[in-house]
Structure 1
Amino acid sequence: MEPVMEVRQVAKRYPGGRGVANMSMQVGKAEVWGLFGPNGAGKTTLLKILTGLCHADAGSVKLFGHDIKGDFASAMSRASCLIETADAYEYMSAERNLKLVARFYPGLPDGRIDEVLELVGLARDKRRKVSGYSLGMKQRLAIAAALLARPELIILDEPTNGLDIEGILWLRGLISRLAREEGTSFLISSHGIQEMEQVCTHGCIIAEGEIIRQGTVAELTHGGVSLEAAYIAAVNRPAKGERKRHA
Protein backbone atom coordinates (compact mmCIF):
# COMPACT_ATOMS: atom_id res chain seq x y z
CA MET A 1 0.00 0.00 0.00
CA GLU A 2 1.32 3.44 -0.95
CA PRO A 3 2.35 5.55 2.07
CA VAL A 4 0.11 8.44 3.06
CA MET A 5 3.26 10.51 3.56
CA GLU A 6 6.78 9.80 2.35
CA VAL A 7 9.75 11.93 3.39
CA ARG A 8 13.11 11.27 1.76
CA GLN A 9 16.36 12.86 2.97
CA VAL A 10 14.82 16.27 3.62
CA ALA A 11 17.23 19.02 4.61
CA LYS A 12 16.80 22.71 5.40
CA ARG A 13 19.41 25.01 6.89
CA TYR A 14 18.94 28.56 8.17
CA PRO A 15 21.68 31.14 8.79
CA GLY A 16 23.41 30.17 12.01
CA GLY A 17 23.14 26.45 11.31
CA ARG A 18 19.63 25.74 12.62
CA GLY A 19 17.33 23.52 10.60
CA VAL A 20 16.97 19.84 9.71
CA ALA A 21 19.17 17.34 7.86
CA ASN A 22 18.67 14.04 6.04
CA MET A 23 15.23 13.31 7.49
CA SER A 24 13.39 10.28 6.10
CA MET A 25 10.16 8.68 7.34
CA GLN A 26 6.90 7.17 6.12
CA VAL A 27 3.39 7.43 7.54
CA GLY A 28 0.83 4.78 6.60
CA LYS A 29 -2.95 4.74 6.62
CA ALA A 30 -4.53 5.00 10.10
CA GLU A 31 -1.14 5.41 11.77
CA VAL A 32 -0.75 7.99 14.55
CA TRP A 33 2.81 9.32 14.66
CA GLY A 34 4.18 11.39 17.52
CA LEU A 35 7.02 13.78 16.69
CA PHE A 36 9.16 14.43 19.78
CA GLY A 37 12.20 16.57 20.39
CA PRO A 38 13.64 19.40 22.52
CA ASN A 39 12.86 23.03 21.76
CA GLY A 40 14.81 24.05 18.67
CA ALA A 41 15.26 20.46 17.48
CA GLY A 42 13.60 21.21 14.13
CA LYS A 43 10.07 19.88 14.68
CA THR A 44 8.22 22.95 13.42
CA THR A 45 10.64 23.38 10.51
CA LEU A 46 9.90 19.81 9.44
CA LEU A 47 6.14 20.32 9.74
CA LYS A 48 6.33 23.51 7.67
CA ILE A 49 8.23 21.65 4.94
CA LEU A 50 5.69 18.82 4.98
CA THR A 51 2.83 21.27 4.46
CA GLY A 52 4.53 23.53 1.91
CA LEU A 53 4.89 26.49 4.27
CA CYS A 54 8.61 26.53 3.53
CA HIS A 55 10.76 24.76 0.97
CA ALA A 56 13.47 22.22 1.70
CA ASP A 57 16.97 22.77 0.39
CA ALA A 58 17.19 19.08 -0.52
CA GLY A 59 15.11 15.92 -0.47
CA SER A 60 11.47 15.32 -1.28
CA VAL A 61 8.07 15.06 0.39
CA LYS A 62 5.13 13.20 -1.10
CA LEU A 63 1.59 13.16 0.26
CA PHE A 64 -0.63 10.46 -1.29
CA GLY A 65 1.96 10.03 -4.03
CA HIS A 66 2.03 13.73 -5.00
CA ASP A 67 5.16 15.84 -4.56
CA ILE A 68 4.53 18.75 -2.20
CA LYS A 69 6.77 21.07 -4.23
CA GLY A 70 5.78 20.08 -7.77
CA ASP A 71 2.07 19.39 -7.23
CA PHE A 72 1.08 21.21 -4.05
CA ALA A 73 -2.67 21.30 -4.69
CA SER A 74 -2.95 17.55 -5.26
CA ALA A 75 -0.62 16.76 -2.36
CA MET A 76 -2.63 18.82 0.14
CA SER A 77 -6.09 18.00 -1.24
CA ARG A 78 -6.53 15.14 1.25
CA ALA A 79 -4.55 16.65 4.12
CA SER A 80 -4.97 19.42 6.68
CA CYS A 81 -2.75 21.02 9.29
CA LEU A 82 -2.57 23.18 12.38
CA ILE A 83 0.91 24.68 12.66
CA GLU A 84 2.12 26.85 15.57
CA THR A 85 -0.93 29.02 16.40
CA ALA A 86 -4.70 28.69 16.37
CA ASP A 87 -5.53 31.71 14.19
CA ALA A 88 -9.07 32.96 13.59
CA TYR A 89 -10.86 36.22 12.87
CA GLU A 90 -11.70 37.28 16.40
CA TYR A 91 -14.41 39.76 15.39
CA MET A 92 -16.35 36.90 13.78
CA SER A 93 -18.17 33.96 15.31
CA ALA A 94 -16.84 30.40 15.20
CA GLU A 95 -19.56 29.54 12.69
CA ARG A 96 -18.60 32.41 10.42
CA ASN A 97 -14.91 31.52 10.62
CA LEU A 98 -15.66 27.97 9.51
CA LYS A 99 -17.85 29.22 6.67
CA LEU A 100 -14.82 31.10 5.36
CA VAL A 101 -12.69 27.97 5.61
CA ALA A 102 -15.43 25.97 3.86
CA ARG A 103 -15.06 28.15 0.76
CA PHE A 104 -11.79 26.30 0.03
CA TYR A 105 -13.68 22.98 -0.12
CA PRO A 106 -16.35 23.05 -2.84
CA GLY A 107 -18.98 20.41 -2.38
CA LEU A 108 -18.71 20.24 1.40
CA PRO A 109 -21.92 18.56 2.65
CA ASP A 110 -24.63 20.73 4.20
CA GLY A 111 -24.44 20.54 7.93
CA ARG A 112 -20.73 19.69 8.08
CA ILE A 113 -19.93 22.94 9.93
CA ASP A 114 -22.49 22.16 12.62
CA GLU A 115 -21.19 18.60 12.76
CA VAL A 116 -17.59 19.61 13.49
CA LEU A 117 -18.65 22.30 15.96
CA GLU A 118 -20.58 19.63 17.84
CA LEU A 119 -17.59 17.33 17.58
CA VAL A 120 -15.23 19.83 19.22
CA GLY A 121 -17.73 20.98 21.83
CA LEU A 122 -18.44 24.48 20.47
CA ALA A 123 -22.00 24.01 19.21
CA ARG A 124 -23.53 26.11 21.98
CA ASP A 125 -21.01 28.91 21.40
CA LYS A 126 -20.96 28.88 17.62
CA ARG A 127 -22.45 32.38 17.26
CA ARG A 128 -20.25 34.01 19.90
CA LYS A 129 -17.40 36.19 18.68
CA VAL A 130 -14.08 34.41 18.92
CA SER A 131 -12.69 37.40 20.85
CA GLY A 132 -14.68 36.12 23.82
CA TYR A 133 -13.27 32.60 23.60
CA SER A 134 -10.74 31.15 26.02
CA LEU A 135 -7.42 29.86 24.66
CA GLY A 136 -8.75 26.32 24.87
CA MET A 137 -11.88 27.23 22.91
CA LYS A 138 -9.76 28.86 20.21
CA GLN A 139 -7.70 25.68 20.00
CA ARG A 140 -10.87 23.61 19.62
CA LEU A 141 -11.99 25.94 16.81
CA ALA A 142 -8.67 25.46 15.02
CA ILE A 143 -9.05 21.70 15.34
CA ALA A 144 -12.59 22.01 13.93
CA ALA A 145 -11.18 23.81 10.89
CA ALA A 146 -8.60 21.04 10.43
CA LEU A 147 -11.37 18.42 10.52
CA LEU A 148 -13.80 20.25 8.26
CA ALA A 149 -13.07 18.51 4.94
CA ARG A 150 -12.64 15.01 6.45
CA PRO A 151 -8.92 14.89 5.63
CA GLU A 152 -7.13 11.56 5.43
CA LEU A 153 -3.95 13.03 6.92
CA ILE A 154 -3.93 15.58 9.75
CA ILE A 155 -0.70 17.30 10.82
CA LEU A 156 -0.85 18.97 14.23
CA ASP A 157 1.75 21.13 16.01
CA GLU A 158 1.23 21.08 19.80
CA PRO A 159 -2.56 20.57 19.53
CA THR A 160 -3.06 20.43 23.32
CA ASN A 161 -1.94 24.05 23.80
CA GLY A 162 -4.55 25.81 25.90
CA LEU A 163 -6.58 22.67 26.54
CA ASP A 164 -7.44 21.69 30.11
CA ILE A 165 -7.31 18.09 31.34
CA GLU A 166 -10.81 17.39 30.06
CA GLY A 167 -9.89 18.87 26.68
CA ILE A 168 -6.74 16.76 26.44
CA LEU A 169 -8.72 13.60 27.18
CA TRP A 170 -11.29 14.61 24.58
CA LEU A 171 -8.62 15.20 21.93
CA ARG A 172 -6.95 11.90 22.70
CA GLY A 173 -10.23 10.08 22.26
CA LEU A 174 -11.00 11.96 19.04
CA ILE A 175 -7.66 11.06 17.46
CA SER A 176 -8.03 7.39 18.41
CA ARG A 177 -11.57 7.22 17.06
CA LEU A 178 -10.77 8.90 13.74
CA ALA A 179 -7.78 6.63 13.19
CA ARG A 180 -9.72 3.50 14.10
CA GLU A 181 -13.09 4.21 12.48
CA GLU A 182 -12.20 6.44 9.51
CA GLY A 183 -8.62 5.39 8.80
CA THR A 184 -7.31 8.92 9.37
CA SER A 185 -3.54 9.26 9.68
CA PHE A 186 -1.91 11.73 12.08
CA LEU A 187 1.49 13.35 12.57
CA ILE A 188 1.51 15.18 15.89
CA SER A 189 4.33 17.29 17.30
CA SER A 190 4.01 17.40 21.08
CA HIS A 191 5.92 17.81 24.33
CA GLY A 192 3.23 15.77 26.10
CA ILE A 193 4.92 12.41 25.64
CA GLN A 194 2.95 10.67 28.39
CA GLU A 195 -0.32 11.70 26.76
CA MET A 196 0.90 10.79 23.28
CA GLU A 197 2.06 7.35 24.37
CA GLN A 198 -1.59 6.49 25.00
CA VAL A 199 -2.69 7.38 21.49
CA CYS A 200 0.33 7.00 19.16
CA THR A 201 1.09 3.89 17.14
CA HIS A 202 4.51 5.22 16.08
CA GLY A 203 7.07 7.72 17.30
CA CYS A 204 9.87 9.79 15.80
CA ILE A 205 12.49 11.38 18.07
CA ILE A 206 14.57 14.22 16.69
CA ALA A 207 17.44 16.24 18.15
CA GLU A 208 19.71 18.89 16.66
CA GLY A 209 17.84 18.69 13.37
CA GLU A 210 18.21 14.94 12.86
CA ILE A 211 16.04 11.89 13.41
CA ILE A 212 17.77 9.81 16.07
CA ARG A 213 15.11 7.12 16.62
CA GLN A 214 11.82 6.14 14.99
CA GLY A 215 9.52 3.14 14.86
CA THR A 216 6.42 1.70 16.44
CA VAL A 217 5.73 2.63 20.04
CA ALA A 218 6.29 -1.05 20.90
CA GLU A 219 9.76 -0.89 19.32
CA LEU A 220 10.66 2.38 21.05
CA THR A 221 9.54 1.08 24.44
CA HIS A 222 11.09 -2.38 24.08
CA GLY A 223 12.24 -3.73 27.41
CA GLY A 224 9.37 -2.28 29.38
CA VAL A 225 10.54 1.34 29.44
CA SER A 226 8.08 4.18 28.97
CA LEU A 227 8.11 6.30 25.84
CA GLU A 228 9.25 9.21 28.00
CA ALA A 229 12.23 7.18 29.27
CA ALA A 230 13.08 6.10 25.72
CA TYR A 231 12.96 9.74 24.63
CA ILE A 232 15.24 10.91 27.47
CA ALA A 233 17.76 8.17 26.73
CA ALA A 234 17.76 9.03 23.02
CA VAL A 235 18.16 12.80 23.29
CA ASN A 236 20.79 12.59 26.04
CA ARG A 237 23.10 10.24 24.18
CA PRO A 238 26.36 11.86 22.96
CA ALA A 239 26.13 13.83 19.72
CA LYS A 240 27.91 12.41 16.67
CA GLY A 241 30.92 14.63 17.18
CA GLU A 242 31.18 13.65 20.84
CA ARG A 243 30.93 9.95 20.02
CA LYS A 244 33.78 10.30 17.50
CA ARG A 245 36.01 12.18 19.97
CA HIS A 246 35.51 9.50 22.64
CA ALA A 247 35.83 6.53 20.28
Structure 2
Amino acid sequence: MEPVMIIKQVTKRYKGGGGISDFSIQVGKGEVWGLFGPNGAGKTTLLKILTGLCQADSGSVELFGHDVRDRFESAMSRVSCLIETADAYEYMSAERNLKLAARFYPDLPKERIGEVLELVGLSNEKRKKVSGFSLGMKQRLAIASALLARPALIILDEPTNGLDIDGMLWLRGLIAKLAREEGTTFLISSHGIQEMEQVCTHACMIAGGTLMKQGPISELTHGGVTLEAAYMSAIHHQAKGEAMAHV
Protein backbone atom coordinates (compact mmCIF):
# COMPACT_ATOMS: atom_id res chain seq x y z
CA MET A 1 0.00 0.00 0.00
CA GLU A 2 1.34 3.44 -0.95
CA PRO A 3 2.27 5.57 2.08
CA VAL A 4 0.01 8.50 2.89
CA MET A 5 2.96 10.78 3.66
CA ILE A 6 6.66 10.64 2.85
CA ILE A 7 8.95 13.33 4.27
CA LYS A 8 12.53 13.11 3.04
CA GLN A 9 15.41 15.05 4.60
CA VAL A 10 13.41 18.26 5.03
CA THR A 11 15.40 21.24 6.30
CA LYS A 12 14.19 24.77 7.05
CA ARG A 13 16.39 27.19 9.00
CA TYR A 14 15.57 30.78 9.95
CA LYS A 15 18.04 33.67 10.10
CA GLY A 16 17.34 34.28 13.76
CA GLY A 17 17.67 30.58 14.58
CA GLY A 18 15.13 27.78 14.85
CA GLY A 19 13.54 25.57 12.23
CA ILE A 20 14.16 21.89 11.47
CA SER A 21 17.05 19.90 10.01
CA ASP A 22 17.15 16.70 7.95
CA PHE A 23 13.67 15.51 9.01
CA SER A 24 12.43 12.22 7.50
CA ILE A 25 9.41 10.02 8.32
CA GLN A 26 6.99 7.77 6.42
CA VAL A 27 3.33 7.54 7.47
CA GLY A 28 0.86 4.80 6.51
CA LYS A 29 -2.92 4.71 6.19
CA GLY A 30 -4.84 4.67 9.47
CA GLU A 31 -1.77 5.45 11.57
CA VAL A 32 -1.92 8.10 14.29
CA TRP A 33 1.44 9.86 14.56
CA GLY A 34 2.32 12.09 17.46
CA LEU A 35 4.88 14.81 16.79
CA PHE A 36 6.18 15.52 20.27
CA GLY A 37 8.51 18.22 21.48
CA PRO A 38 8.71 21.38 23.61
CA ASN A 39 7.67 24.83 22.41
CA GLY A 40 10.13 26.03 19.79
CA ALA A 41 11.21 22.51 18.84
CA GLY A 42 10.25 22.99 15.19
CA LYS A 43 6.88 21.22 15.18
CA THR A 44 4.85 24.08 13.71
CA THR A 45 7.55 24.79 11.11
CA LEU A 46 7.20 21.21 9.88
CA LEU A 47 3.40 21.42 9.74
CA LYS A 48 3.58 24.67 7.76
CA ILE A 49 5.89 23.00 5.25
CA LEU A 50 3.51 20.04 4.94
CA THR A 51 0.56 22.31 4.22
CA GLY A 52 2.36 24.74 1.89
CA LEU A 53 2.36 27.68 4.30
CA CYS A 54 6.13 27.89 3.92
CA GLN A 55 8.74 26.19 1.77
CA ALA A 56 11.60 23.99 2.92
CA ASP A 57 15.17 24.98 2.11
CA SER A 58 15.78 21.40 0.98
CA GLY A 59 14.19 17.98 1.01
CA SER A 60 10.75 16.89 -0.20
CA VAL A 61 7.23 16.13 1.03
CA GLU A 62 4.80 13.79 -0.73
CA LEU A 63 1.15 13.39 0.25
CA PHE A 64 -0.71 10.54 -1.45
CA GLY A 65 2.09 10.31 -4.02
CA HIS A 66 2.02 14.01 -4.95
CA ASP A 67 4.85 16.43 -4.21
CA VAL A 68 3.58 19.35 -2.10
CA ARG A 69 5.80 21.86 -3.88
CA ASP A 70 5.12 20.80 -7.48
CA ARG A 71 1.55 19.46 -7.27
CA PHE A 72 0.09 21.30 -4.31
CA GLU A 73 -3.62 21.00 -5.15
CA SER A 74 -3.40 17.28 -5.84
CA ALA A 75 -1.32 16.71 -2.70
CA MET A 76 -3.78 18.59 -0.48
CA SER A 77 -7.03 17.35 -2.04
CA ARG A 78 -7.58 14.74 0.69
CA VAL A 79 -5.99 16.65 3.56
CA SER A 80 -7.49 18.78 6.30
CA CYS A 81 -5.56 20.70 8.91
CA LEU A 82 -5.88 22.82 12.03
CA ILE A 83 -2.71 24.81 12.67
CA GLU A 84 -2.01 27.33 15.47
CA THR A 85 -5.43 28.94 15.97
CA ALA A 86 -9.09 27.90 16.00
CA ASP A 87 -10.42 30.72 13.80
CA ALA A 88 -14.12 31.32 13.26
CA TYR A 89 -16.47 34.22 12.57
CA GLU A 90 -17.41 35.30 16.09
CA TYR A 91 -20.65 37.04 15.08
CA MET A 92 -22.00 33.90 13.39
CA SER A 93 -23.39 30.70 14.82
CA ALA A 94 -21.44 27.43 14.82
CA GLU A 95 -23.79 26.06 12.16
CA ARG A 96 -23.38 29.13 9.94
CA ASN A 97 -19.60 28.92 10.21
CA LEU A 98 -19.69 25.33 9.01
CA LYS A 99 -22.07 26.21 6.15
CA LEU A 100 -19.55 28.78 4.96
CA ALA A 101 -16.75 26.21 5.16
CA ALA A 102 -18.91 23.71 3.27
CA ARG A 103 -18.96 26.01 0.21
CA PHE A 104 -15.46 24.74 -0.62
CA TYR A 105 -16.89 21.22 -1.00
CA PRO A 106 -19.71 21.40 -3.57
CA ASP A 107 -20.43 17.66 -3.37
CA LEU A 108 -20.77 17.65 0.42
CA PRO A 109 -24.14 16.23 1.58
CA LYS A 110 -26.23 18.79 3.49
CA GLU A 111 -26.60 16.45 6.44
CA ARG A 112 -22.82 16.36 6.95
CA ILE A 113 -22.88 19.62 8.93
CA GLY A 114 -25.25 18.11 11.46
CA GLU A 115 -23.13 14.96 11.60
CA VAL A 116 -19.92 16.76 12.49
CA LEU A 117 -21.67 18.99 15.02
CA GLU A 118 -22.88 15.79 16.69
CA LEU A 119 -19.39 14.28 16.50
CA VAL A 120 -17.82 17.22 18.34
CA GLY A 121 -20.63 17.63 20.86
CA LEU A 122 -21.97 20.99 19.65
CA SER A 123 -25.42 20.00 18.40
CA ASN A 124 -27.17 21.83 21.22
CA GLU A 125 -25.08 24.96 20.64
CA LYS A 126 -25.22 25.00 16.84
CA ARG A 127 -27.31 28.21 16.65
CA LYS A 128 -25.36 30.10 19.32
CA LYS A 129 -22.91 32.82 18.28
CA VAL A 130 -19.29 31.78 18.49
CA SER A 131 -18.53 34.96 20.47
CA GLY A 132 -20.18 33.28 23.45
CA PHE A 133 -18.14 30.08 23.14
CA SER A 134 -15.41 29.03 25.53
CA LEU A 135 -11.94 28.33 24.13
CA GLY A 136 -12.68 24.62 24.31
CA MET A 137 -15.93 25.00 22.36
CA LYS A 138 -14.10 27.02 19.69
CA GLN A 139 -11.55 24.24 19.45
CA ARG A 140 -14.33 21.70 18.98
CA LEU A 141 -15.82 23.86 16.21
CA ALA A 142 -12.44 24.06 14.47
CA ILE A 143 -12.14 20.28 14.64
CA ALA A 144 -15.66 19.97 13.20
CA SER A 145 -14.59 22.13 10.27
CA ALA A 146 -11.54 19.92 9.74
CA LEU A 147 -13.76 16.84 9.61
CA LEU A 148 -16.33 18.21 7.15
CA ALA A 149 -15.06 16.64 3.93
CA ARG A 150 -14.11 13.29 5.47
CA PRO A 151 -10.38 13.85 4.81
CA ALA A 152 -8.04 10.89 4.52
CA LEU A 153 -5.28 12.77 6.37
CA ILE A 154 -5.87 15.19 9.25
CA ILE A 155 -3.04 17.39 10.55
CA LEU A 156 -3.63 18.89 14.00
CA ASP A 157 -1.41 21.39 15.80
CA GLU A 158 -1.90 21.28 19.60
CA PRO A 159 -5.54 20.12 19.27
CA THR A 160 -6.06 19.81 23.04
CA ASN A 161 -5.57 23.57 23.61
CA GLY A 162 -8.52 24.87 25.59
CA LEU A 163 -10.00 21.44 26.23
CA ASP A 164 -10.75 20.28 29.76
CA ILE A 165 -10.17 16.69 30.89
CA ASP A 166 -13.49 15.51 29.46
CA GLY A 167 -12.65 17.26 26.20
CA MET A 168 -9.27 15.56 25.97
CA LEU A 169 -10.84 12.16 26.58
CA TRP A 170 -13.46 12.92 23.93
CA LEU A 171 -10.79 13.96 21.40
CA ARG A 172 -8.72 10.84 21.98
CA GLY A 173 -11.81 8.70 21.49
CA LEU A 174 -12.76 10.52 18.30
CA ILE A 175 -9.28 10.12 16.79
CA ALA A 176 -9.16 6.43 17.66
CA LYS A 177 -12.65 5.88 16.20
CA LEU A 178 -11.87 7.61 12.89
CA ALA A 179 -8.54 5.82 12.50
CA ARG A 180 -10.06 2.43 13.30
CA GLU A 181 -13.39 2.66 11.47
CA GLU A 182 -12.60 4.95 8.52
CA GLY A 183 -8.85 4.46 8.11
CA THR A 184 -8.21 8.16 8.68
CA THR A 185 -4.54 9.03 9.14
CA PHE A 186 -3.49 11.63 11.71
CA LEU A 187 -0.38 13.70 12.33
CA ILE A 188 -0.77 15.44 15.67
CA SER A 189 1.68 18.00 17.01
CA SER A 190 1.77 18.29 20.79
CA HIS A 191 4.08 19.17 23.65
CA GLY A 192 1.93 17.08 25.98
CA ILE A 193 3.16 13.51 25.53
CA GLN A 194 0.99 12.11 28.32
CA GLU A 195 -2.16 13.61 26.75
CA MET A 196 -1.73 11.85 23.41
CA GLU A 197 0.32 8.72 24.17
CA GLN A 198 -2.78 6.57 24.65
CA VAL A 199 -4.20 7.28 21.17
CA CYS A 200 -1.06 7.49 19.02
CA THR A 201 0.16 4.40 17.19
CA HIS A 202 3.49 6.02 16.26
CA ALA A 203 5.59 8.88 17.53
CA CYS A 204 8.42 11.11 16.41
CA MET A 205 10.29 13.08 19.04
CA ILE A 206 11.80 16.41 18.10
CA ALA A 207 13.95 18.92 19.97
CA GLY A 208 15.98 21.83 18.66
CA GLY A 209 14.71 21.11 15.17
CA THR A 210 16.23 17.63 15.19
CA LEU A 211 14.33 14.33 14.95
CA MET A 212 15.67 12.30 17.86
CA LYS A 213 13.53 9.14 17.76
CA GLN A 214 10.66 7.77 15.72
CA GLY A 215 8.67 4.57 15.34
CA PRO A 216 5.71 2.59 16.68
CA ILE A 217 4.72 3.41 20.25
CA SER A 218 5.07 -0.28 21.12
CA GLU A 219 8.75 -0.18 20.17
CA LEU A 220 9.52 3.17 21.78
CA THR A 221 7.95 2.02 25.06
CA HIS A 222 9.38 -1.52 24.99
CA GLY A 223 10.15 -2.89 28.44
CA GLY A 224 7.55 -0.81 30.22
CA VAL A 225 9.23 2.54 29.54
CA THR A 226 6.77 5.40 29.21
CA LEU A 227 6.87 7.56 26.10
CA GLU A 228 7.74 10.55 28.28
CA ALA A 229 10.72 8.65 29.74
CA ALA A 230 11.84 7.65 26.24
CA TYR A 231 11.65 11.28 25.21
CA MET A 232 13.68 12.51 28.18
CA SER A 233 16.28 9.83 27.47
CA ALA A 234 16.53 10.99 23.86
CA ILE A 235 17.03 14.60 24.98
CA HIS A 236 19.72 13.48 27.43
CA HIS A 237 21.62 11.57 24.74
CA GLN A 238 21.30 14.49 22.33
CA ALA A 239 22.66 16.95 24.91
CA LYS A 240 25.48 14.57 25.78
CA GLY A 241 26.38 14.22 22.10
CA GLU A 242 26.43 17.99 21.61
CA ALA A 243 28.63 18.43 24.68
CA MET A 244 31.09 15.82 23.40
CA ALA A 245 31.20 17.54 20.00
CA HIS A 246 32.41 20.74 21.66
CA VAL A 247 35.16 19.06 23.70
Report the TM range for the smaller structure's normalisation.
over 0.9
- Which residue of the partner structure matches residue 165 of structure 1? 165
Counterpart for residue 7 of structure 2: 7
Equivalents in 2 of 1:129, 1:95: separation in Å? 9
Aligned-pair CA distance for 1:233: 1.1
Deviations along 1:60-111, whole A, 9 cap, x unmatched? Answer: 1111001111111111110100001100010111111111111111200120
Moved more, 168-177 or 222-231: 222-231
Residue 238 of structure 1 deviates from its aligned partner by: 3.7
Q: 1:19-40, CA deviations, whole angstroms, 9 ceiling, x for partnerless residues? A: 1111000110000000011111
Tell me whether 1:236 sits opposite 2:233 in the alignment.
no
User: Which TM-score applies when normalising by structure 1?
Assistant: 0.97
For structure 1, list consecutive stretches of 5 or more residues without a partner in the other structure.
Answer: none
- Summarize the alignment of residues 146-225 of structure 1 with structure 2, pairs less than 5 Å apart: 146-225=146-225
| TM-score, with length taken from structure 2 | 0.97
Partner of 2:70: 70
Quote how far apart the aligned CAs of 1:195 are: 2.3
Contiguous gaps of at least 5 residues in structure 2: none
C-alpha contact (below 8 Å) 2:36/2:206 kept by paired residues: yes
In the alignment, the residues of structure 1 paired with residue 20 and residue 37 of structure 2 have an alpha-carbon distance, to the nearest angstrom, of: 12
Q: Per the alignment, in what secondary structure is the counterpart of residue 230 of structure 1?
A: helix
Q: CA deviation at 1:190?
A: 1.1
Match of 2:42 in 1: 42
In structure 2, distance between residues paired with 1:100 and 1:61: 30
Q: Is the 8 A contact 2:39 2:191 kept in 1?
A: no
Q: Please name the residue that 1:60 is paired with.
A: 60
Deviations 1:136-169 (A, max 9, x none): 0000000000000000100000101001111111
Partner amino acid, structure 2, of 1:20: I
Q: Distance in 1 between matches of 2:100 and 2:236?
A: 45
Letter of the 1:244 partner, please give it.
A
How much identity, in percent, do the aligned residues show? 75
SS at match of 1:141: helix
Give, in whole Å, the separation in 1 of the partners of 2:193 and 2:128.
34
- Which residue in 1 is equivalent to 2:142? 142
Shift of residue 194, structure 1, vs aligned partner: 1.4
- Contact map agreement 2:31 2:185 (CA 8 A) in 1: yes
CA distance in 2, matches of 1:245, 1:49: 31
Quick check: 2:212–2:238 contact (8 Å CA) kept in 1? Answer: no
Deviation per residue, 1:196-240 (Å, 9 max, x gap):
111010000011111010000011112211011111111232444
